[in-house]
Structure 1
Amino acid sequence: MERKYLDFEKPIEEIDKKILYLQEIKKKKNIDNQLQITQMQQLFRETTKQIYSNLTAWQKVQVARHPQRPHTNDYILKLLEELYELHGDRVCKDDPAIISVIGKFRGTPVAIIGHQKGRDTEENIKRNFGMAHPEGYRKALRVMKMAEKFSFPIITLVDTPGAHPHMEAEERNQALAIANNIYEMSQIRTPIIVTIIGEGGSGGALGIGVGDIIIMLEFAIYSVISPEGCASILWKDQKALTEAAESLKLTAPELFNLGLIDEVVNEPLGGAHAQPEEMIKILGNCLEKKLAELCSMNLNTLLEKRYQKYRNTGIYLTEKH
């Protein structure tokens, strides 16, 4: 698949085009220009590192939304064996915006539940751009309860702009479905790892976002509102995206410093979209380590730590003046 470059990646794109041109010349005219190619490849890596070491919050939002980032299904197909997808909420219908799978992760039976976006317009329409309906959250909870029954650890992969906001979702009680999931996930007697792989949008993320450990990819985002919505409300100007993104403190390092997530998982050079296979491998290794830690804990201790984790969320100290 041809790589799609973001606006701020244009210097990288230009170097990439030069590398491809030199490689084509070498192949067609049998010219020994390997030294030039090697030098350009080194420049490509250095330029990528320089750009990605200095991204603004708004640029990280763009990376988090990149259509070529690995999605939930990509992780599932690469990380699970003997997998079986479960459909439907047993109340209304199935929701393609959320995938729920039982399978073996490196020998351990697990349940993986995550938002699923599309790669193109047609698939995005089918998946509703990763915005779940109430039946999606009910399906997720149904599979979590099944995992609890069989003592399977749960892994959730969060990647949504938010819950589906239209009237049909409200008619089927979207708020209750999300609230019920938050309540139930706080008490489920099996380890839960929440992983924010792209966008963590508001209540849509929280519907599968309560767990013992919350990890977040380096260029993922997690926020109560999108920068576009924030700019529209506070600045009355859709163009104030940069200011809004900075104010929201939605990046992984900022959220880690605030104590809202537990670990930041570094992405490969150039972001997950540049090296999706490497990103899947990195996350798989992280999940294996975290699962081993959680599965070794006594269940009562695990639940108490989960309770205290959320009981203390939002507490901060200020200096006396």
Structure 2
Amino acid sequence: MTEMLFTPLLLGDLQLPNRVVMAPLTRNRALAEGDVPQALNAEYYAQRAGAGLIVSEATQISPQGKGYAWTPGIYSEAQVAGWRLVTEAVHARGGRIFAQLWHVGRISHVSLQPGGAAPVAPSAIAAKARTFDGQGFVETSVPRALETDEIRGIVADYRKAAENAKAAGFDGIELHGANGYLIDQFLRDGSNRRGDAYGGSLENRTRLLIEVLEALSSAWPVGRIGLRLGAFSNANDVADSDPMRTFGYVIDRVNNFRLAYLHMIEGQTGGSRELPEGADLEALRDRFDGPWMANNGYDRAAAIEAVDAGRADLIAFGRAFIANPDLVERLRRNAPLNELDPDTLYGGGARGYTDYPRMTDIAA
């Protein structure tokens, strides 16, 4: 019998051959000049085209949206051409790939911002967080609060990034609304202390997310747009006084968009799956009207069980995909996995990026 994890799934009008997703993974290997994807990136993603769906590494929508050295953008012609190398390589191997659109907000450093400016945020509240500036990990800079009339420009940047993703040949897009980046900062009352139409009430704190989804929907069919949330993750120093209420409301609002999927981080990003008191992922899952993508710490047995039980339709794997380009086949056969080299996660070249062996290589 074939476990449901390895069976096809229809996302909108896009047929996936299996439900194993390559999660978005920041690897800091874009060209330093212009944050442009390169041939090395194309090889890396093409090696992993056996995934039911690849979600690209987080990709900044503008120079202001950048928070880490050597991460790719999707706002210049050179970046679009670089991403086209990636999508063509993935499609040549029979794969499907969405672009994850990203604005980091306050999770940045002045050295990474145009003209050495302060990063932007809903409110001028510093994050107790660190970022990678190309030399090492440094404390994030104190942000400035966005003016109300600036927000329209950020929405326009998202729309243009979505159009560029289509021009680059992606099969769809995922909006990054998690991990303490700009969208997440607006959603949560710990980082959003605004007194205008984008702060205070749940309706107001959700306004930017809804405006961005409306902008993305003008560029893509709704069945090709996913959303990533982390309801109970405090990554990058975000907090909310009542995450069940906040994210229940968010899900009710985004249901109107008939999204391709909702990508939920379960527990702390890349950490514990334990949930705070009162948290109920199944209740949130029941409120969402479309396919549910679960993410965080899944192994083969847990992934099979979650999909078989109906708690998730798709399972996103992160670090396992870094070390195992043929992860789907290894999971299908219950074969051993390669060990991850943590020293090569961020920055560098082919080592620890495109040189992990496939099962066939090991056999040979």
TM-score w.r.t. length of structure 1: 0.38
TM-score w.r.t. length of structure 2: 0.34
